[in-house]
Amino acid sequence: MARVKFQTLSEQMFYVLLCLREERCGIDILDQVPTMTDGRVRVGSGTLYNLLEQFLDAGCIEETRVEGRRRSYLITPKGQEMLDQEYQRICAQARDYLRWTGEEGHP
Amino acid sequence: MKTRKRTWKRIAFFDSCETVCYLEKKAREGWVLEHVFGIWWTFRWTEPRPAHVWISYLTQDVYDPEPSEKLENMTELGEHTGWQLTVTTPTMQVFYNWEQTPIPMETDPVAHVEGMHRSLKQGALTLYRVLFGLALACLLVNLWSLLKMPLWALSHYAEWMLDDFLLFVVIGAELIPYELWYRKARKVAAQGEWLDTRPWGRVIRWVLMAYVILWLSGIVVTLVVKPWVHARLFIVVSGVAFAVGWCFVLWMRDVLRRRKVSRGKNEVMTAAVSFLGVMAFVGVMVAVFTHWNWFSPTSVDSWWSQYPDGLPLTVEQLRGEVDEQEFWVHRDGEESLVLGQYLGWQVSERETGPDEDMDTVMYTVTLVKLPALHNLCRDTMLWADHEAVDPTLWLAQEAYRETDHGRLRTYLLCYETCVVEIRFGWEPTVEQMQLVGETFGGDML
């Protein structure tokens, strides 16, 4: 079944929102996400474009500055709430994992 | 050596996978896409090497030479990771990346599917949905006509109805595969997977190919069928002229846009050329209708032209000598591939009393080209109040008489190749019945 929009966030969505806790432009986000994840997560430029458009439509981020072709964004309270919910969900998953597999991570 | 080549390629409007595979293959052969106009793709020669290609579907203003803000935004982001915008059309953008292992432009299937759907909704998808709605409306109107007025519909518009149906299938074949792909792609993307567009895009290609073959065959068959060959030939030629004119206007608009002509000037010039083209087209149509008479029942290749006196059967032929009087003569008709209906009237303008005979004969000849339609023609033309009469007098297979009649004696006669409804202003004699049979009983096709 298709996921309800933004009910859970993909990794790319999560890290884009996390980046936008500070005002950043698109190119900064493309560089920042691999830095935050030690290269584990990379966001494609087309994906970033689509995510920024969708987050703007959903009111999760807002455009703060336009300098020529460069646009900067910042997360909104609604976006922050979504990020917090996703964090809680990930933590709950991690707790369930530890509970059922033992603290060392083995069954 | 050739440094440019042009080829035609028809890919479904959403089939990005097919487009990417095709362009990556061309790049390995040394050809990079330079320009796209409709189904015409222009490539320029370069060093053969592997390339990664990506397609986006941002809608662009068809007149504005400058890219939209959204496209500029995407281009800047793409350039940061090595993706160069190479070709842009009003509906599609092509990015090339020459690195060995670049970061793909799309890394999140959910964002990709939703982004693609959002872009297509602003362009091709909305257009196809509107066209599909219109085609469905035409189909329903045609079905209604077939149910309510089958003979009129089949004799006047059989080919057009078939064309409407085929267009409905073609537009549906463009739209429905996308809608099915999108629904499945969303579910698959939720699991982090990508759904190839090519199986759905292939459906469209096959349907389009079948449509073109059927359409061309239909034109050939239609041209072979008489009468009014000139009229049908004109319809085909004018259709081709209209399509060529339309393509010319689109090409001119595209050239102006690529030459960075301002939006305002482009709009004005395109509108002016379109207007002149339409005027010229209408002028030719009017000339054909009024001057050359190609669509008239009296034209030289119509069904009527085989009767030098104008009507197959006249009052004088039936009754012999008649009193000197004025007649109103009318003939009309239409014919399709499956059915023809022709009306012939000779009505006396002399005033007569209610119990007197009138020198009037009126008939409707329905040519049955498809034997399976014979019973439909008879049943549709038969009146509620009727009785069967001896068909042998009329040299017919079946004959009926309307019992509830006014001053006209009305008969329905079924022959092998036609069904005739004939009305007399007098009670016909056996000799006159036989003459009717000899006139209409032969091969009328």
ipTM of the complex: 0.86
pLDDT at residue A1, rounded to an integer = 38
DSSP for A13-65 reads: HHHHHHHTTS-EEHHHHHHHHHHHTTTS----HHHHHHHHHHHHHHTSEEEEE
Residue A2 confidence (pLDDT) above 50: no
Identify the closest residue of chain B to A8 by CA–CA distance. B190
Please report, as a single letter, which amino acid is at residue B254.
D
pLDDT at residue B215, rounded to an integer = 80
Q: Given CB atoms, is B72 within the 8 Å cutoff of chain A? A: yes
Contact call for A50 and B107, based on CB within 8 A: no
Higher pLDDT pick, A106 / B116: B116
Identify the closest residue of chain A to B82 by CA–CA distance. A45
- Choose, out of A45, A54, A56, A67, the residue to mutate when testing the contact with B (most B CBs < 10 Å): A45
Instruction: Beginning with the edge strand found earlier in the chain, give each strand of the sheet holding B418-424 in spatial order.
Output: B327-335, B339-348, B361-368, B418-424, B409-414, B398-402, B386-388
* Structural domains of chain B in order of their starting residue, each with its CATH number: 4-107 (no CATH), 124-291 (no CATH), 311-440 (3.40.1000)
Scanning B172-201 for CB atoms below 8 A from A yields 183, 186-187, 189-190, 192
Cβ contacts of B188 on chain A, cutoff 8 Å: none
* Structural domains of chain A in order of their starting residue, each with its CATH number: 11-101 (1.10.10.10)
pLDDT at residue B48, rounded to an integer = 94
Tell me the pLDDT of chain B (445 aa) as tens digits.
789 999 998 888 899 999 999 999 999 999 999 999 888 999 999 999 999 999 999 888 888 888 888 899 999 999 999 999 999 988 899 999 999 999 999 999 999 999 999 999 988 899 899 999 999 999 999 999 999 999 999 988 888 888 888 889 889 988 999 999 999 999 999 898 999 999 998 888 888 888 888 887 877 777 676 556 666 677 777 778 888 888 899 889 988 988 989 888 999 999 999 999 888 888 887 787 777 666 555 555 567 777 766 788 889 889 887 778 888 988 888 888 888 899 999 998 887 777 778 889 999 999 998 889 999 999 999 988 899 999 999 999 999 999 876 788 999 999 999 999 999 999 999 999 999 999 988 776 6
Is the CB of residue B302 less than 8 Å from the CB of residue B225? no
Q: Given CB atoms, is B105 within the 8 Å cutoff of chain A? A: yes
Contact call for A13 and B190, based on CB within 8 A: no
Q: What is the mean pLDDT of residues A4-21?
A: 87
pLDDT at residue B116, rounded to an integer = 92
Shortest CA distance to B167 belongs to which of B124, B201, B218?
B218
Is the CB of residue B176 less than 8 Å from the CB of residue B204? no
Cβ contacts of B73 on chain A, cutoff 8 Å: 26, 49, 69, 71
Query: Nearest CA of chain A to the CA of B136: how many Å?
Result: 29
The two tokens of residue B120 are: 């297509």
Q: Strand B418-424 relative to strand B4-8: parallel, antiparallel, unpaired? A: unpaired
pLDDT at residue B20, rounded to an integer = 96
